[in-house]
Each structure stands twice: as C-alpha cells, then as structure tokens.
Amino acid sequence: MNDIDELTMAAQLFKDPPEPSAQVIAAARARMTEPEPSARTARQGRRRAPRRFSLGLGLVAGIATAAVLVATIGGGGDPTPRLSAQEAQEQHLAARQLLLAAADTLDKEKPLKVGSYWRQRTVEGKAFHVDGDGNGYVVYAEVENDSWEAKYKALTLQWTNQDGVLITKSQKEHKFFSRPNPVVPQTPEDTAAWKKAGSPTRWKVTSDGDHLVLTMDNKNPPSAEGSTYVRRPNPDVAGIDDQPDVDQRLQLGKDPAVFVAAVRKDAGFIEGSAQELMTGSRYVGDKLASPQSRAALFRMLANLPGIRSIGSVKDAHGRPGIGLAPPWINRVDGTVVEYQLILDPRTYDILGDQMIVKKAGKDGVRPGALFSYGYTLSEGWTNESPPGS
C-alpha cells in the first residue's frame, strides 16, 4: 500500500497598456498546448514587499501581516459547509494522524549538508474572471520565482541617516529573480470560451474590488499576496533586507523548543486555524530548520482545532500529494474558498498550496476552479552561483 492509499484511508487604474506583440501571442498559444507547465530560466525581476508579489495566492502570514490577512480573507474562516459534526471530527482526527506521522518521519532524518546558496524555485498564480457569453471564462496569470540566498557571500551597504551619520551594515546576499508567464486560460472549457470570444489578448477584470487590465504578455502583473513559504527579499529604502537570512534561519531551527516558540509568536497565530495553517506552512516548509524542529512544529499543528485531512489532492503542477485544509474562508468580494496545503506523501515537504472556489463572489470565478496557487519546482543547497555573480 503506498502513502497516498494510507492517507486516503485516514480520511477520505484602467490605463490601457500596449497590445502584446505577435511573438508573445504565438508563445502564449503554444504554451496553452503544453501538457504540463515547464521549468524555465528566470530572469531578474523587480523587488517587492514581503509576501506580496506580482501574482499568486491570496495568503498572508508572518510578522506584521495579520491586519492584511484579516482584510483579505476575513478572520479565521466560517465552519466548513455540508459537513456533519461527525464528518468534521473524522477529518480532523485523520489530519492529526497525518501530522503526527509526518513528525515521526522527520524525527529520523539528518540535517541537510550546507552549500554556498540556498536555492528555491517556485511558481505562483491567480485566476481572473472575464465576462462574456454565458458564464464567461477564467484566465490565469502566473510568475516563476528563483531565489538564491547566500551562506557565505555578504554585501556591504552604506547610507546616511537623518542626522547625517554614515551607517555601514553587512548582510548576506539574496538574489531574487521573477519572470511573468503569459496570461492564458488553463482548462479546455475556458480555452473554448476564450476562442469563442475571438481569442483576445487584453482583458479588463476585477479582483477584490480593484479594476485591473491584463495583457497576454503579463508585462505589468497585478500585485497579490504570495505563498508564505516563498522566500523573497524585502529591502527598505537603504537596501536593508528585513527577512531572516540563511544563518539566522539555521540558528533558529536548531532547537525544537525555540523554533516552536518563535512560530507561536508569529502574528499569523492570532486569528484562528485558517491563518495558523498558512503561517505554519512557512515554517514547516523551511528545510533550513532541523528535521527535529520541523517535527516538533508538525506535532504542534496536530493540536490545532478545525484542521482537516482532505485525502489525495493534486497540486497546480499536477503532482499527487496529501492535503490539509482549515475551515472555509470568506474573501472580501464574497468568494468562499478552501485553502489547501499539499504535502509530498513520502517526505512531507510542501509540494504547493492553493485555494479552491467553493462559492462564487463578485470576482466571478466559478465554484471548483483554482482561485490562486503556488508550487515548488525545486529547493535545496547548491554550490552553483546565481546569474550575475
């Protein structure tokens, strides 16, 4: 019996941008016929604020983000509809068994061998509904991220403060590349509706009350909250990154008790299990922490009320995993979504996370569709150097 079977048993602006070029349109149409998303080489992208990026999951967690989270998804989430008390309890017990099994597995592992850079490659995307005949259709805008965090190489920054004093500070190098992919429909149903509408390459859409213009080339991606486990820098005006560097994360993750205590202090743990699972994903997904520290966090998450096992789930890249979900979430436009954290059934690493629409809101994305998503392509130590080094 494989791991998937075991888990299934456990619980079943409106400024018009220029039209995209013919080359972009041809590339996008070719991409729509690809059987699976492919890994592409990322190029340098502009830096953005923490856990906000130019497309992606409506997820926010971590220090100083609780207010954004409440405004975006509305508190801790409503009780999951159409589940009896017995069904909810069964799914919660299955989730607890899964999290404890993950902890037992990690307890037996050894820390990873350190290299020169911690590299993480991810994809994040978001759905946008386009009005049209019938129910219209949905297009998806996504970005590919390539993060390189140095273990040894440091940069020296200098600036003058408001009192005219020259300040010098050293920080570890963190290179972050982001490349937008063409905006396209992803399902046969949406592709057919898009073709019926004349295969447009520019759309006016609404997202959480904001009016946006999308173009197929995705040159000016709209801002959205990003997956919590994606490591992106957050430089201030002086270029100082306030995100923990590799050494700080290695140190924090050495001691399980210290690691769990730090997670409990995170602002994402003040609003209920919906936010707690999202916040927890940032830490259990950080493989710079020791396996034993991540195991301790899995055990802590096992005690969260409302977390459910949803059995075998595919991530947005099409890979099968095992899914956890908190209570359903009401977004500001009235859309009701289910947040799903998807784990590898063998290693319990994060494959990805996603929000599935359960009830349509003003944004118009239909029930059953991906509302937003993120997934990991690869992650680990490397002795290679990032582009431009």
Q: What is the per-residue pLDDT across 227-270, written as a single tens digit (0 to 9) for each?
A: 888 877 776 666 677 788 999 999 999 999 999 999 988 877 76
Q: Residue 44 pLDDT more than 60?
A: no
**Lowest-pLDDT range of 39-53, 68-82, 170-184, 333-347:** 39-53
Q: 324 with 7: CB under 8 angstroms?
A: no
> Tell me, what's the pLDDT at 72?
37
Average the pLDDT over 333-338 and give the result: 90
> Tell me, what's the pLDDT at 167?
77
The neighbour count for residue 197, using CB atoms within 10 Å, is 15
Q: Give the start-end residues of each E strand in the chain.
A: 52-53, 117-130, 137-160, 166-180, 202-207, 210-215, 224-225, 308-314, 320-325, 329-330, 336-343, 350-359, 370-382
Q: Distance (Å, rounded) from C-alpha 54 to C-alpha 226?
A: 8
Q: Could you identify the residue written with the tokens 């100083």?
A: 64
Q: Distance (Å, rounded) from C-alpha 155 to C-alpha 149?
A: 12
pTM of the model: 0.77
Amino acid at site 315: D
Q: Residue 200 pLDDT more than 80?
A: yes
Phi, psi for 339 (deg, rounded to 5):
-80, 130
Tokens (6 digits) for 361: 């809101």
> Tell me, what's the pLDDT at 237?
61
Task: Please classify residue 289 by burial: count the beta carbons closer than 10 Å to its beta carbon, then call 0-12 exposed, 13-18 middle and 19+ buried.
Answer: buried
Tokens (6 digits) for 44: 């340098």
Q: Residue 32 pLDDT more than 70?
A: no
> Tell me, what's the pLDDT at 369?
93
Higher pLDDT, 41 or 233: 233
Q: Residue 224 pLDDT more than 70?
A: no
Q: 266 with 228: CB under 8 angstroms?
A: no
Average the pLDDT over 26-48 and give the result: 38
> Tell me, what's the pLDDT at 43?
31
> What mean pLDDT, rounded, does the chain reach?
79
Q: Which long-range contacts (CB under 8 A, 24 or more apart) does 95-99 make?
A: 95/11, 95/302, 95/307, 95/308, 95/309, 95/324, 96/302, 96/303, 96/307, 97/10, 97/309, 98/7, 98/10, 98/309, 98/322, 98/324, 99/298, 99/299, 99/301, 99/302, 99/307, 99/324
Question: What are the DSSP calls for 331-369, one per residue?
Answer: -TTS-EEEEEEEE-TTT--EEEEEEEEEE--TT-PPTTS
> Tell me, what's the pLDDT at 270?
66
Q: Residue 147 pLDDT more than 80?
A: yes
> Tell me, what's the pLDDT at 133?
82
Q: Could you identify the residue written with the tokens 């998503």?
A: 373
> Tell me, what's the pLDDT at 2?
42
CA neighbours within 13 Å on the CB side: how many for 327?
A: 22
Higher pLDDT, 140 or 56: 140
